[in-house]
Amino acid sequence: MARNVEFDESLAIQKAMEVFWKKGYNATSLRDLTDAMQINSSSLYNTIGDKQELFVRCVQHYTDIRKQDWEKRLASKRSPLAVLVDYIHEAVKVIINGEDSCMAVKSAFEVATNDERVKQILAADDQRCYQFLHDLIKKSMDKGEIRNDEDPALLADYFNSTWTGWYESFILHRDPVKIKRMAEYFIRQLTK
């Protein structure tokens, strides 16, 4: 008689996401995934599917976590500029202290160019990030915290693109001071 597959699927997705996040899609083996998820390969295939399907679900899970974080920040009673500055400082900490970088950035370069589903998930995530930044910048302008002669859409696009460059710069140069200085420059430009 076949054994029933019993495991916490959301926990298994979280564990698999952590492996993909650390190693990347191409360097992650099926064995890495099943070990982390504490299931066998037949359970993986019978419940979730293959490695590619699991990766898609992990990227979706990662972007869902980011969406929840942005929603929580937008709902804060704090000054919009303070929320934005904290977000920038936290992004810098992730870049210089987080050995695993940003899964969205890593996935965009490694997988999204060849996988339409991953590309769509990351494009939606990028749009949510843009909207989050735009909303904070616009609210900061409305409160007089940021001068209102700038275009909030352009500033949101600029920051969203710039911080991807900070990741690249840190990967190539491992210079935390450089990243911190770029972040402080960006903040100064916003608040001039």
pLDDT score at 102: 86
Per-residue pLDDT band for 8 (boundaries 50, 70, 90) equals confident
Q: Where are the domains of the chain?
A: 9-191
Q: Is the confidence at residue 6, as pLDDT, over 70?
A: no
The span from the CA of 34 to the CA of 43, in Å, is 9
The span from the CA of 35 to the CA of 15, in Å, is 9
pLDDT digits (tens, 9 = 90+) for 29-88: 999 999 999 999 998 999 999 999 999 999 999 999 999 999 999 999 999 999 999 999
Identity of the amino acid at 145: E
Task: State what percent of residues in the chain have pLDDT above 90.
Answer: 79
Per-residue pLDDT band for 128 (boundaries 50, 70, 90) equals very high
3-class DSSP assignment, residue 149? coil
pLDDT score at 79: 97
Q: Which of 125, 24, 88 is nearest to 33 (CA)?
A: 24
Contact assessment for residue 86 and residue 136, using Cβ atoms and an 8 Å cutoff: no
Per-residue pLDDT band for 118 (boundaries 50, 70, 90) equals very high
Q: Which CATH number, 3.30.1330.90, 3.40.640.10, 3.30.70.260, 1.10.357.10, labels domain 9-191?
A: 1.10.357.10
- The number of beta carbons lying within 10 Å of the beta carbon of residue 153 is 13
Q: Is the confidence at residue 188, as pLDDT, over 50?
A: yes
Extract the tokens encoding 179: 């990243």
Q: What is the DSSP letter of 39?
A: S
- What is the average per-residue pLDDT within 23-28? 94
The span from the CA of 66 to the CA of 4, in Å, is 33
pLDDT score at 184: 97
Tell me how far CA of residue 11 lies from CA of 8, 14, 48, 58, in angstroms: 5, 5, 13, 11
